[in-house]
Chains A and B, each alone.
Chain A
């Protein structure tokens, strides 16, 4: 009996030391990618139809950075990783992902058809480490009835004239019994501080951090001042936390927000949950009045040590090809149509795909927020900027967001806080050997 037990324990124990799934031939494993809707399932089907012999294993869920890097360190990485493009530079600098140049040439993937800002995000030190997938931008969303009621023409609200925007914000914000009841304008800081700094003519980072640049400091002072003028950060944030942003009674329907800067995906959310909401989507503009936006989205990359890099490359080429995107867009449109819902289009990093999708598949079904909003979103796609990849990207974002938060909370002046952020950023870059 004892011998059997020992033998069983040995067998069970050795189970963990055998070859992993990634070692099996004709197997592709992904990390950070899920199958939530037709954008994913239809594209995966295209690949599976082309390569039925491949056992594609999609590891659902958002990317767990530590899990991913541990897998690479343990020489047991997935074949593909799906990550936020802003983080890819850090992975590249650490040697966690592969140079995709040769692979893309073999599969004749032309990066010129991808949006410039997205390509910039996946290029580190002149080498391409990823292929852009979705593409998002940042715009203004205006609550027409609230603006009109306050005597503000939605067509005139913009981020060009900062003095005027501050005055309009004060006019639109509403406080009752000492409590904030309506946000006049939400600048979305600290998340959008890079966009505000760019609008003021400064990049937060270039070859080195510019966090203490006077133009950045001015942008921080201005945006935090907008919040302070609306009751201060504690009340402002607490009020924002009460919004039912993903429901039919979102902040635009209830009139809790007059205007705000926001990511483009929220236009879809409003259209899906409150199609009758009377809102205007407007471009964010710099201080000269030029449309300006910040790019975001994900990218596909192949981890260092992946067992099937050639197959992984073929998968990436397939998933990001214009025809595959169009197939997915049609599947998405049809699925939504069955539920009687509009299809708001899909914004991808592939410009050729977007052109086909919006000319052949897009189906707004007369919903005004989509018809008006999507035109604006399309018009700013190529106006997007992206911060350059940086090996200390996570630490840099933390340094400037913490700095803006300190100013919002009144703990430091903009000058002091951004100077501290600069010191922290310098230390982070030095630490990861980015200099």
Chain B
């Protein structure tokens, strides 16, 4: 009896979340799945269109461009973010008593609102008089036109995205402190170099956290929107001066939905993105079985 009461209480406790999920997430998702098979412009009733939205995507050059831009950004951003964060976390671990101060300093950029960050980097990355090119100039390099040359726009955005590496670094720092010290001691006794210690002790020890950040950062990168939209689509939402170099998938989806009012096509774009993210995540989960080590499952 007691367990039935507990079960009922449990359901009651989760009911607000379940209701919210069904009404505010699952419901709209299913509706957008329905819309993806229609032509709908908000004003006229939705017209059933079969698979035509999905077929159109196959021939849509801008959708392909947006997908490529997004994949390119993800392939650069995710590994760089992980490597930089890991480097910062390793340094923080050696910071001793001042670790708290540096941890705060590293985390502060994460608190910057994305729109403010975008506005700031428009100035920093300006090819004519931006601070980044000025610094490159000190070393004799002529910096590129980060914000106007299509070839350099995505690298510039990746550079900007590393601004928030501090949040990942803080997670890695927590993971590093949990790696048992005796393993390093044993490795040293066996004559392991610092690199081998990192590769065989540190990395397996924090692989669960690295795996978590890999999945979260991949999903976030595939949905990149705010900073790129603010920097390149704020003044002219439909046709930025830099062409389609910063046209990421979600920006294109947004343009189709709220610029061209093609809700059916935009819904199809959204579902394809959902499937791409699901497939990549599934692949990462599969690979994790061989490379991710959890202490409690050891």
Chain A residues engaging chain B, CB cutoff 8 angstroms: 65-66, 69-70, 72-73, 94-96, 178-180, 190-191, 233-235, 237-239, 241-242, 394-395, 397-398, 401-402, 405-406, 408-409, 411, 428, 431-432
B126 at the interface (CB under 8 A from A): yes
* Cβ 8 A contact of B122, one of A69, A191, A241, A397: A241
Asked if A406 and B260 sit within 8 Å, CB to CB, the answer is no
In the assembled complex, 10 residue pairs joining A and B whose CB atoms fall closer than 8 Å, in A order, are A95-B43, A190-B239, A234-B145, A234-B149, A238-B126, A398-B239, A405-B241, A405-B243, A411-B150, A431-B262
- Chain B nearest Cβ from A428, distance in angstroms: 8
- In the complex, what residue of chain B is closest to A69 when comparing beta carbons? B42
Asked if A237 and B241 sit within 8 Å, CB to CB, the answer is yes
- In the complex, what residue of chain B is closest to A395 when comparing beta carbons? B260
Asked if A238 and B145 sit within 8 Å, CB to CB, the answer is yes
Contact flag A398-B259 (CB < 8 Å), given A70-B42, A179-B128, A234-B127: yes
Question: Which residues from A are CB-within-8-Å of B240?
Answer: 405
* Cβ 8 A contact of A66, one of B149, B241, B258: B258
Asked if A409 and B128 sit within 8 Å, CB to CB, the answer is no
- In the complex, what residue of chain A is closest to B127 when comparing beta carbons? A238
* Cβ 8 A contact of A180, one of B128, B244, B258, B262: B128
Known pairs A69-B42, A94-B43. 11 more at Cβ < 8 A?
Answer: A65-B258, A66-B258, A72-B42, A190-B241, A234-B127, A237-B241, A238-B127, A242-B126, A394-B238, A394-B260, A405-B243
Asked if B43 and A72 sit within 8 Å, CB to CB, the answer is yes
- In the complex, what residue of chain B is closest to A233 when comparing beta carbons? B148
Which B residues between 214 and 254 are near A, CB-CB below 8 angstroms? 236, 238-244
B142 at the interface (CB under 8 A from A): yes
Interface size on B, residues (CB 8 A): 29
Asked if A94 and B126 sit within 8 Å, CB to CB, the answer is no
Question: Which residues from A are CB-within-8-Å of B149?
Answer: 234
Asked if B148 and A237 sit within 8 Å, CB to CB, the answer is yes
Contact flag A234-B42 (CB < 8 Å), given A66-B258, A180-B128, A394-B259: no
Question: Which residues from B are CB-within-8-Å of A180?
Answer: 128
Asked if A235 and B148 sit within 8 Å, CB to CB, the answer is yes
Question: Which residues from A are CB-within-8-Å of B127?
Answer: 234-235, 238
Which B residues between 128 and 151 are near A, CB-CB below 8 angstroms? 128-129, 142, 145, 147-150
Question: Which residues from B are CB-within-8-Å of A408?
Answer: 241
B261 at the interface (CB under 8 A from A): yes
Asked if B43 and A409 sit within 8 Å, CB to CB, the answer is no
Cα A432 to Cα B264 with chains together (Å): 13
- Chain B nearest Cβ from A140, distance in angstroms: 21
Cα A315 to Cα B42 with chains together (Å): 27
Question: Which residues from B are CB-within-8-Å of A235?
Answer: 127-128, 145, 148
- Chain B nearest Cβ from A116, distance in angstroms: 28
Question: Which residues from A are CB-within-8-Å of B150?
Answer: 234, 409, 411
Question: Which residues from A are CB-within-8-Å of B129?
Answer: 242
Asked if A401 and B148 sit within 8 Å, CB to CB, the answer is no
By CB atoms of chain A within 10 A, which of B44, B128, B150, B240 has the most? B128
- Chain A nearest Cβ from B128, distance in angstroms: 5
* Cβ 8 A contact of A73, one of B42, B145, B238: B42
- Chain B nearest Cβ from A96, distance in angstroms: 6
Cα A69 to Cα B42 with chains together (Å): 7
Cα A408 to Cα B239 with chains together (Å): 13
Cα A83 to Cα B106 with chains together (Å): 45
Cα A260 to Cα B29 with chains together (Å): 49
Asked if A405 and B239 sit within 8 Å, CB to CB, the answer is yes
Cα A387 to Cα B298 with chains together (Å): 71
- In the complex, what residue of chain A is closest to B259 when comparing beta carbons? A394
Closest 8 pairs (CB-CB, A-B): A401-B239, A234-B149, A234-B145, A398-B238, A238-B127, A234-B148, A66-B258, A237-B148
Asked if A432 and B243 sit within 8 Å, CB to CB, the answer is no
- Chain B nearest Cβ from A275, distance in angstroms: 27
Asked if B148 and A406 sit within 8 Å, CB to CB, the answer is no
Which B residues between 250 and 293 are near A, CB-CB below 8 angstroms? 257-262
Cα A300 to Cα B236 with chains together (Å): 23
Question: CB-defined interface of B67-78 with A at 8 Å, one 1/0 digit per residue?
Answer: 000000000000
Asked if A94 and B41 sit within 8 Å, CB to CB, the answer is yes
- Chain B nearest Cβ from A407, distance in angstroms: 10
Cα A95 to Cα B147 with chains together (Å): 40
Which B residues between 100 and 135 are near A, CB-CB below 8 angstroms? 122, 126-129
Asked if B128 and A238 sit within 8 Å, CB to CB, the answer is yes
Question: Which residues from B are CB-within-8-Å of A242?
Answer: 126, 128-129
